[in-house]
């Protein structure tokens, strides 16, 4: 069963990618979508087995892979509760994204390639979450990096899409370098890359040190921090986050697949999978907690001022990943995975709902040109409202259960870093409610503001614009458009709406159905069965936190909702006034804390300067001067000189012959004369 689940997307990707032109778009879409729905069905069967019947984990060998000295790597699938949860998340969201893409990508001429990339991405993610060893995990880790590069830059005729794809690839390579060092160090410390063997031996390595530059360094802290660097890159944590918002240049289904439920959650999954290692280092846990809390605060603050609907949701993803990491750093690994699970439903719902809005608004993504859309696309409005309720933690939605579990567990942990993270999390909860309802109010309420949209004006003129094409000029015979009369936003086709209904059900009920299994003090230990380091005592303590801590997330929800209503419905002129009154703070937030500018100054521009120096002084000034170009110049000069002797006169050729004979005689006679003189 597990073999079929994992390899079906790969087979579909190969056939659709290499044979798409032969079988056609429809066949390629049918094949890939059917393969993903089959894998999703199998994933749910495996999950139910672990959830209801209490199945034990097991390994499924595939083949002997690498044998080099002490390094033995066998390709095998590790199937346990943690794997089952990730299989459900990955395949369910991917299958729905495939179906959604039937409508969203209907007019794209490269549909076969797009669906092949989606399936390839899914296969790589499945390889990652089923890994039995660190090398296999790294293979899937790099596979999703490659597939994300292809998907983000899918519309390669757009320079911004190419730049975003390269940025994502390069930033992730930084994190992956740390991850690879962690794998190398783990092999040196444990003598194996087998995950079960490493986790079994990890407690015995606690407190061991090694010498580095004359200092004794803790082994487990070093290994955990190196591995966490990889998680920071893949899950867009503060410092290695800059690629994620720019990745919105890819098609909207890509945003839902990569940034809602799959690639960006790989880092959280890895930390939870290796949680027995992190349990041996309080320092590593503190670092994970602080980085997660800082990321949550940073991303929420930037989301407040974003105007692109997809970027708001992208920064929201970054912020929610911060919640997952500070939950893991606080020891609440079950709560971290619970939020990963619920987040997949409501964040995929929000991304695909945003795609439905963009589809209705002729690919306009700026919320300043929306307004009043609830009357035109009521189904999308209702489902995005469901997603927003879940994201902001409204009562009994999925986010209500998982986010509260994180905040309460972090507070119950009692350590300074965990308590600080829980308090930061409360502030972020209020900010999340504010920017989420701001998105809803700007998009669906108020008067229509479409007149300023260039995309809508082109639609009024009959021009067919698309995300992968440059903006077209209006038809010469068309009258100038002065407003939005004549353009009517339309609801999306059923292929786009059906996945929204499924995700909406998950956003509403996933928390209610599964919170006991994921985070219950006793049921959680039974559910996870050792697949992660579940702390039953911590989750028991989380159920007895002070009443103000229980009520605080709900207060944050209503505070953010009230502020968003006041600023964007009751007094819509106030945000502009506040921005004008505090230009420094507004610029700081709109420039995303100036991380891009800082990295440009520290890394990009010096790299360009070094490259220009090596090109001009090294390549042109030295290599070309004395190398290929220098030799070519010498040959060219001697040819010009030799051509002067090709006059056609006999005496010229005779002179050349005499000079040649004299030179040959000198070549043979002079050495002998010198030897004779030396012999005397």
CA distance 200 to 535: 17
CA distance 660 to 648: 18
pLDDT at 259: 66
> Which tens digit of pLDDT belongs to each residue from 305-340?
999 999 999 999 999 999 999 999 999 999 999 999
pLDDT at 584: 95
**Bridge partners of residue 216, in order along the sequence:** 211
CA distance 269 to 234: 11
Higher pLDDT among residues 624 and 274, named by residue: 274
**Percent of the chain with pLDDT strictly greater than 70:** 93
CA distance 621 to 605: 22
Mean confidence (pLDDT) of the chain: 89
Element (H, E) at 493: none
Asked if 429 and 556 touch (Cβ cutoff 8 Å), the reply is yes
pLDDT at 462: 58
pLDDT at 471: 33
Residue 287, pLDDT > 60, answer yes
pLDDT at 472: 31
**Percent of the chain with pLDDT strictly greater than 90:** 71
> Which tens digit of pLDDT belongs to each residue from 475-494?
333 333 344 556 788 899 99
Angle between helices 494-519 and 81-104 (to 10 degrees): 170
Asked if 369 and 446 touch (Cβ cutoff 8 Å), the reply is no
Q: Which of 36-45, 97-106, 262-271, 627-636 has the highest mean pLDDT?
A: 36-45
pLDDT at 125: 94
pLDDT at 671: 64
CA distance 7 to 17: 15
Residue 119 in tokens: 């399936």
> Which tens digit of pLDDT belongs to each residue from 549-566?
999 999 999 999 999 999
Residue with tokens 């031996």: 201
Element (H, E) at 454: helix 454-460
CA distance 437 to 566: 11
Angle between helices 134-152 and 159-190 (to 10 degrees): 180
Mean pLDDT on 25-51: 94
Which value, to the nearest 10 degrees, does the dihedral of the CA atoms of residues 654, 657, 659, 660 take?
A: 170
pLDDT band at 469 (very low <50, low <70, confident <90, very high): very low
Nearest to 275 by CA among 539, 459, 638, 533: 533
Residue with tokens 């490269």: 110
CA distance 194 to 119: 27
What beta strand segments (E) does 381-484 contain?
A: none
Q: What is the pTM of this model?
A: 0.88
Q: What is the 3-state secondary structure of 72-115?
A: EEEEEEEECHHHHHHHHHHHHHHHHHHHHHHHHCCCCCCHHHHH
Element (H, E) at 415: none
pLDDT band at 470 (very low <50, low <70, confident <90, very high): very low
Query: What is the per-residue DSSP string for 232-253?
Result: HHHTT-TTS-THHHHGGGS-HH
Residue 620 in tokens: 């042109």
> Which tens digit of pLDDT belongs to each residue from 40-51?
999 999 999 998
Residue 385 in tokens: 């409202």
CA distance 258 to 100: 15
> Using alpha carbons only, what angle is made at residue 192 by residues 187 and 195, rounded to the nearest 5 degrees?
100
Total residues belonging to the chain: 680
> Which tens digit of pLDDT belongs to each residue from 58-95?
999 998 888 888 888 989 999 999 999 999 999 999 99
The b-or-e profile of 384-398 (16+ CB within 10 A means b, else e) is: bbbbbbbbbbbeebb
> Which tens digit of pLDDT belongs to each residue from 606-615?
999 999 998 8
Mean pLDDT on 289-296: 97
Higher pLDDT among residues 637 and 354, named by residue: 354
pLDDT at 33: 96
Residue 434 in tokens: 């504010």
pLDDT band at 679 (very low <50, low <70, confident <90, very high): low
Mean pLDDT on 493-497: 92
Residue 131's SS3 state is strand
Residue 311's SS3 state is helix
> Which tens digit of pLDDT belongs to each residue from 409-457?
999 999 999 999 999 999 999 999 999 999 999 999 999 988 777 777 7
pLDDT at 478: 33
pLDDT band at 672 (very low <50, low <70, confident <90, very high): low
pLDDT at 651: 73
Asked if 524 and 334 touch (Cβ cutoff 8 Å), the reply is yes
pLDDT at 652: 77
pLDDT at 461: 67
CA distance 121 to 597: 31
pLDDT at 643: 78
Asked if 311 and 295 touch (Cβ cutoff 8 Å), the reply is no
Residue 255, pLDDT > 50, answer yes
CA distance 363 to 367: 11
> Which tens digit of pLDDT belongs to each residue from 367-421?
999 999 999 999 999 999 999 999 999 999 999 999 999 999 999 999 999 999 9
- Give percent helix, percent strand, percent coil of the chain, each to the nearest 5: 75, 5, 20
Mean pLDDT on 656-660: 84
pLDDT at 211: 86
């Amino acid at each position: 069963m597990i073999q079929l689940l994992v390899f079906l997307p790969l087979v579909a990707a190969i056939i659709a990618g290499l044979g798409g032109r032969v079988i056609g778009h429809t066949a390629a879409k049918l094949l890939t979508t059917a393969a993903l729905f089959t894998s999703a069905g199998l994933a749910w069967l495996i999950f139910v087995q672990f959830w209801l019947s209490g199945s034990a984990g097991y390994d499924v060998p595939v083949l002997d892979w690498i044998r080099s000295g002490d390094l033995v790597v066998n390709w095998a699938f590790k199937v346990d509760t943690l794997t089952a949860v990730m299989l459900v998340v990955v395949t369910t969201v991917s299958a729905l994204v495939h179906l959604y893409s039937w409508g969203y990508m209907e007019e794209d001429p490269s549909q076969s390639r797009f669906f092949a990339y989606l399936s390839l991405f899914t296969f790589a993610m499945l390889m990652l979450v089923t890994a039995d060893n660190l090398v296999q995990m790294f293979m899937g880790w790099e596979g999703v990096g490659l597939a994300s590069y292809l998907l983000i830059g899918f519309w390669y005729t757009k320079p911004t899409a190419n730049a975003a794809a390269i940025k994502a690839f390069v930033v992730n390579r930084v994190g992956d370098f740390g991850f690879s060092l962690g794998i190398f160090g783990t092999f040196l410390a444990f003598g194996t890359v087998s995950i079960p063997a490493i986790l079994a031996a990890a407690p015995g390595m606690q407190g061991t040190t090694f010498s580095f530059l004359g200092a004794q360094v803790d082994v487990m802290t070093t290994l955990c921090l190196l591995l966490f660097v990889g998680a920071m890159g893949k899950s867009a944590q503060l410092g290695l986050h800059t690629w994620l918002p720019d990745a919105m240049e890819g098609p909207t289904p890509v945003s839902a697949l990569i940034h809602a439920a799959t690639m960006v959650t790989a880092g959280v999954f890895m930390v939870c999978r290796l949680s027995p290692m992190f349990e041996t280092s309080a320092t590593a846990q503190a670092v994970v907690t602080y980085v997660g809390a800082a990321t949550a605060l940073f991303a929420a603050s930037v989301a407040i001022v974003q105007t692109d609907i997809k970027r708001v949701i992208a920064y929201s993803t970054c912020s929610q990943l911060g919640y997952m990491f500070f939950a893991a750093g606080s020891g609440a690994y079950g709560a971290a995975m619970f939020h990963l699970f619920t987040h997949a439903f409501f964040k995929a719902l929000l991304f695909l709902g945003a795609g439905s809005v963009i589809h209705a608004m002729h690919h306009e993504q700026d919320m300043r040109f929306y307004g009043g859309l609830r009357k035109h696309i009521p189904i999308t409005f209702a489902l995005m409202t469901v997603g927003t309720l879940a994201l902001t933690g409204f009562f009994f939605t999925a986010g209500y259960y998982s986010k509260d579990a994180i905040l309460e567990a972090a507070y119950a942990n009692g350590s300074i870093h965990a308590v600080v993270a829980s308090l930061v999390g409360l502030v972020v909860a209020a900010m999340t409610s504010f920017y989420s309802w701001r998105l809803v109010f700007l998009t669906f309420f108020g008067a229509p503001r479409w007149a300023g949209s260039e995309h809508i004006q082109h639609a009024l003129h009959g021009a067919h614009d698309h995300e992968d094409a440059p903006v077209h000029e209006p038809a010469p015979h068309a009258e100038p458009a002065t407003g939005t009369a004549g353009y009517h936003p339309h609801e999306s086709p059923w292929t786009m709406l059906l996945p929204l209904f499924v995700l909406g059900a998950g956003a509403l009920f996933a928390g209610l159905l599964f919170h006991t299994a994921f985070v219950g003090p006793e049921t959680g230990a039974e559910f996870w069965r050792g697949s992660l380091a579940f702390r039953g005592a911590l989750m028991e303590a989380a159920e007895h936190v002070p009443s103000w801590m229980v009520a605080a997330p709900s207060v944050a929800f209503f505070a953010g909702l009230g502020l968003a209503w006041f600023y964007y419905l009751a007094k819509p002129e106030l945000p502009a006034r506040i921005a004008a009154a505090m230009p420094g703070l507004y610029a700081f937030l709109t420039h995303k804390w100036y991380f891009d500018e800082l990295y440009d100054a520290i890394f990009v521009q010096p790299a360009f300067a070094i490259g220009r120096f090596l090109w001009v002084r090294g390549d042109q000034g030295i290599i070309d001067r004395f190398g290929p170009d220098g030799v070519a110049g010498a040959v060219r000069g001697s040819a010009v000189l030799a051509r002067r002797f090709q006059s056609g006169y006999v005496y010229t050729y005779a002179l050349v012959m005499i000079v040649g004979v004299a030179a040959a005689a000198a070549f043979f006679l002079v050495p002998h004369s010198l030897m004779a003189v030396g012999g005397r």
